[in-house]
Amino acid sequence: MYTRKEKSNPQGKEKRTELSELGEFGLIDHLSKNIVLKHTGTVKGIGDDAAVLDSGNELLLLSTDLLLEGVHFDLTYMPLKHLGYKAAIVNISDIAAMNGVPKQMTVSIAVSNRFSLEAIDELYKGIRMACDKYNVDLVGGDTSSSVSGLLISITITGAAAREEIVYRNGAHEGDLLCVTGNLGGAYAGLLILEREKKVYQANPDMQPELTGCDYVLARQLKPEARTDIRNLLKEAEVMPTSMIDISDGLASETLHLCHQSKTGCRIYEEKIPMDEETRTLALEFNIIPTVCALSGGEDYELLFTIKQDDYEKIRNIQDITVIGHMTAYGDGQNLITPDGKTVQITAQGWNAFAKVAK
């Protein structure tokens, strides 16, 4: 006769660690801590914007990203063509962050039955637009059904010469910390879209108020990858000592560079480049503009370090701004305000598990 056995833990429930306690990067660290690389051809595994494999004459770069409806994007205000374009850009940006050239891409999707063939066509139009613009071959993928909306998984390959590849761990004390473009615009665009979504939900007859927001909306809905920076720096005869793309906010990415390179840093708040439209909208939402840059994310600009001796070579490149410098690791990672106060930099940007927790 079958009898139910008592649980093996009479004192209570077994320990349960919530993923929100670790966060996305804590989970990655946990899952990767015991991984041992077995092949000599694996030059770099987990821990950078892309894995690096030895393919003979040059190094092969490999990266992948997963985007889920309701977590990474909201189809209430994200057109499918724009979503496809942005999904491709997210991956192309990873290759740019290694100082590489994007080459091939595979796209896998899972869709529920609320999506029509025409809708999927729109998604792929955006993906193909990005591939055409950045000279990337779309070479395969997979399709599946889904019970919970749309899922997009993209894997990209790239290439870099051995002497040109840039990792996150190459910065040294005294190196200058630089950023491309301007920051915070994508987050300002998201604030506008979320505001208008709430207005629409309250009254579907209301027209969206988007006047004067073209720039920040473009930054959120149709970002671009900074593949141009590789050539700009090469022409200036400057080789970055470390680099990362800004997907989770300036604060988070700066901490990644510092922790990987075992350095501290000093970022000067007044040096952080921001578009005037971004500043104005941040103030309208009662947000300190710098917060948009530090914690907003999705700007897909590049954050990198260079030797101090290279400053004169990049000082006149219009789209590159020196925002600070690297210090000794024990000095910590700090933001210097215009009035000279020192504030410790903390990562408060995108955290998928914190967002969906409970």
pLDDT tens sequence across 41-60: 777 777 778 889 998 889 99
Which of 96, 325, 36 has the alpha carbon at shortest distance from 227?
96
Strand pairing category for 137-145 and 51-54? unpaired
**What pTM value is reported for the model?**
0.89
Do 269 and 290 touch, CB atoms closer than 8 A?
yes
SS3 325: strand
Looking at residue 3, its pLDDT comes to 55
Which of 81, 78, 134 has the alpha carbon at shortest distance from 103?
134
Do 237 and 315 touch, CB atoms closer than 8 A?
no
What span, in angstroms and rounded, lies between the C-alpha atoms of 253 and 248? 7
At 90-107, the pLDDT tens digits run 999 999 999 999 999 999
Other C-beta atoms within 10 Å of 339: how many? 6
- Domain 176-352 sits in CATH 3.90.650.10: yes
Looking at residue 232, its pLDDT comes to 97
Looking at residue 353, its pLDDT comes to 47
Does an H or E element contain 151, and which?
Answer: strand 151-160
The CATH superfamily label for domain 40-160 reads: PurM-like, N-terminal domain (3.30.1330.10)
Ranges of residues in the chain with a pLDDT under 50 are 350, 352-353, 355-358
| Phi (first) and psi of residue 188, to 5 degrees | -60, -40
Structural domain boundaries of the chain? 40-160, 176-352
